[in-house]
Amino acid sequence: MTNTEFLERVNHLIELSPKDQQQIMKALEFGANAHTGQTRASGENYFTGHCMPVAIHVAELGLSANMIIAALLHDTIEDTSITHKDIRKEFNKTVADLVEGVSKLGKLKYRGNERHVESLRKFFVAATKDVRVIILKLCDRWHNLETLEYLPEEKRKRIALESMMIHGALASRLNMGKLTNAINDLAFPYAMPEEYEKTLSLRESFLKQEDKVIEQMYRDMLRVLTDSLGYTPKIDRRKKGIYSFYKKLERKEWNTDQIHDMIAIRAIVKTDADCYKALGAVHAKWRPVQGRVKDYIASPKPNGYQSLHTSVFTGRGNVLEVQIRTEDMHQFAEFGIAAHHTYKADTKSARKNEFDWIDQLGDIKQDESVDDYLKDLRTDFFADRIFAMTPRGDVIDLPRGATVLDFAFAVHTDLGMSAQGGKINGVYKALKTPLESEDIVEIVPGKKTHPTTDWLNWSITNLAHSRVRKKLGLQRKFVPNKKAKTSSAK
């Protein structure tokens, strides 16, 4: 790809000012000179074969010119003689800081040992300082996975497993659907080849059966919504990625009859009101599946995701998922935190509450053992999630298996410290009671309630454990006593 071709492609993806174009052309020349003589495992020129594709991925996420320039130069500090000072002088401080941030992360190695954990800690501390650095690193990994075939088999599997465990999971928590699917789908065949082949065969068979139905439904949906809205909405067909299909198959014990969202029709409409109007039109034409209507517009997911979901009987022996959202909602669903206007405008802080969990990544105790640190990450950040609600309608994002006590600490430390029990959907329950998605939870405080070591058995989140340990003066990880007597604070 020539510099001119690169610029044309980027300009097609995002709107660039004349100054932006000039700076990007300058970065293309600067980066190419810095990486002179370097090649990849494929034999390609390092800059054109890696740095430019990474920058294309950044542009595909709709990010700023500075982010594209930083992507072009992301390996210069680590792999060449170029310094932060050089980049700041030639471009600006924002670009220099971003490149330095990526360089400080270094090369993550999945080894299941101390070095791996230190890399993870570095990775997540960087996320709390400037998420743009993490987005660059995720795009870097995206392209590395696209060229994984050129590496030795053992290395391919290690990188693929690492990518699914860390990069794909983090992209998912950032609600970056496009990036999550790209990472997981590219890594899946290398990380789990047998499962991949089995899933691929089932997926192809499934799609072959559904193709005729989806095409007819697409045409019918377009007509129904156009008649209802008075304009033609954007409608597309979404096929579930192969790794997402695998995860769904696992949950459904490999019974494809239980999967109703392999293919979905997505309608993009103009306003929130049109979303509900379109939903009414869909239900007037097709009978909805009971319990499958989800209103994420009125009650967004904790990461900010909004959409209306429903599943309908097609009348042809099939069930089809329908998603209805506005263009802004769609951008956020696809690009997550990268879709926020402040990331397009080159500022660090794009969220208030939407991604507060990122800040918690830096709160995990730095003196924890390797096993404890990884356990906390898996439990608090990368486990399956549930979304419980306060009586006021605030959504609390928790790992599956979280209890009333975990919920209390997630709302506020003081509430957790005084929690005596909780009402789940109006029914009083003990602190150790596990929660389910969509539970409405009201914490009941007690004047004489105080934490005991039993509370460490009654909670699973690092947040609850760390607050309780601190209150009790426990410096080391407390090993729960499974035979502990029940505390009076229930």
Whether 295 is catalytic: no
Distance CA 173, CA 175 (A): 5
Task: Provide the pairing of β-strand 263-269 with 319-326.
Answer: parallel
Whether 100 is catalytic: no
Distance CA 12, CA 232 (A): 24
Distance CA 75, CA 91 (A): 16
Pick the catalytic residue: 5, 8, 29, 79? 79
Pick the catalytic residue: 44, 78, 295, 372? 78
For the range 372-381, what are the long-range contacts, defined as Cβ-Cβ under 8 Å and sequence gap of 24 or more?
Answer: 372/477, 373/117, 373/120, 373/121, 374/117, 374/120, 376/462, 377/120, 377/124, 379/460, 379/461, 379/462, 380/461, 380/462, 380/463, 381/169, 381/173, 381/357
Smallest CA-to-CA distance from 467 within 479, 481, 480, 450 is with 450
Distance CA 241, CA 10 (A): 26
Residue 474's contacts (CB-CB under 8 Å, 6 or more residues apart) are 453, 468
Residue 4's contacts (CB-CB under 8 Å, 6 or more residues apart) are none
Q: Which residue has the tokens 């209890």?
A: 403
CA 202 to chain centre: 26
- In angstroms and rounded to an integer, the radius of gyration of the C-alpha atoms of the chain is 25
The tokens describing 347, both together, are 């500022």
Distance CA 237, CA 213 (A): 12
How many Å from the N-terminal Cα to the C-terminal Cα in the chain? 65
How long a stretch of residues is the chain? 490
Smallest CA-to-CA distance from 399 within 466, 467, 459, 461 is with 461
At residue 234, the 3 state secondary structure works out as: strand
Please report the sign of the dihedral spanned by the C-alpha atoms of residue 341, residue 342, residue 343, residue 349: negative
Residues tagged active-site: 78-79
